Amino acid sequence: MRKTWSSMLLRRLLQSILVLIGVSILIFGISRMVPGDPARMALGPRTPEWAVENLRKQLNLDKPLPVQYGLWLLKMLRGDLGESLVTRRLVNDDLRDFLPATAELIVVAAIIEIIGGILLGVFAARYSQTWFDGFTRVLAYLGVATPSFVWAIIFLLIFSFAWPILPATGRLSAGIITPPRITGMIVLDGILSGNFAAAWDCLLHLILPAISLAMYGVAQSARITRASMIENMERDSVYAHAAAGVPRRVIMTKYVLKPSLIPTVSVMALDIVAMAGNAFLVEMIFNYPGLSRYGMTAMLNKDLNAIVAVILILGLCFVVVNIIVDFIVALLDPRVAHYGGV
């Protein structure tokens, strides 16, 4: 078995590298397709032609495209993402500030989706055709049909204004000392540095945006879990176990749940990657200083370096999440592990 696992990892890594190369070519292509001469744009219309020519040489714009791509890739690999037009800072510094905030948000939303989706799905299947099943069905329709920013507004109105029990905006309340930066994720840094007040306060700030973001995924994965639970409950193997006296609780939480999670996991992965995009409006509404907001602002301002960085990070997340999913699926489904993936 061990041999299959490591060869699977190797194959997945190679595939991921191919995907990332594809993404990088795409990004490079887009960045060169933007109309206008970058050197001329950088120096302004009044600069003499020889100075522009010099800068072109300096930026390697006189070289053939494949060479330019190679040089650009090397620069990226060195971690040199350039400067942002909007913030006038190194893109690296911006990422350092904004990425952990969004990562924290998405992690919390993902946890909500995983726990909420599976629990709702399992109970809806166990108590199918009862009021609970009906309740999850309605919840699921609402969850799938309502965009996350609408949830954000609804939750904000209810839990921060009508019945103010949760903070409305930002990452930390005024007067709370930000813990020293270790990972940039305040909840984590707070716990690591013993500043539990900050960790708790940040978590409270995360609840509403994370739930808004997770609603769609919770709804979708609850429905998928329910459907595959019910399908798996009707298998002869389940009847055979039931007839042998295996208690219903064991059958449901073991023999039915495990195969039912296989489709759920793949769908959840897609949801979680999509959260990075959906986070934009949610971050706007909660005035949350995250990467999605940063990326969107960059796009509206044609801030090329920042756009490239955000897309690269999204691509990287996609690849990593996919590798993780492949391993979870292989853990759940021995056939996949055995044949080394589908």
> Which positions lie near other proteins, rule CB under 8 A?
234-247, 250, 254-255, 258-259, 332-335, 338
C-beta closer to other proteins: residue 58 or 237: 237
Q: What is the DSSP string of 121-169?
A: HHHHHHTTTSHHHHHHHHHHHHHHHS-HHHHHHHHHIIIIIIS--S--S
Other CB atoms within 10 Å distance of the CB of residue 9: 13
To other proteins, the closest distance from the beta carbon of 262 in angstroms equals 8
Distance of closest approach, residue 234 Cβ to other proteins, in angstroms: 6
Q: Which is nearer to other proteins, 75 or 258 (CB)?
A: 258
Q: Shortest Cβ distance from residue 120 to other proteins (Å)? A: 20
Instruction: Name the β-bridge partners of 90.
Output: 83
Nearer to other proteins, 250 or 320 (CB): 250
**In this complex, which beta carbon is closest to other proteins, that of residue 215 or of residue 251?**
251
Residue 306 burial (C-beta neighbours within 10 Å; 0-12, 13-18, 19+): buried
Identity of the residue, 165 or 240, whose beta carbon is nearer to other proteins in the bound complex: 240
Task: Name residue 95's amino acid.
Answer: L
For residue 318, give both structure tokens: 């996609």
Q: Please report, in angstroms and rounded to a whole number, the separation of the first and last CA atoms in the chain.
A: 16
* Shortest reach from residue 247's CB to other proteins, in Å: 7
Residue 122 and residue 196: Cα distance in Å, rounded? 34
Minimum distance from residue 326 beta carbon to other proteins (Å): 16
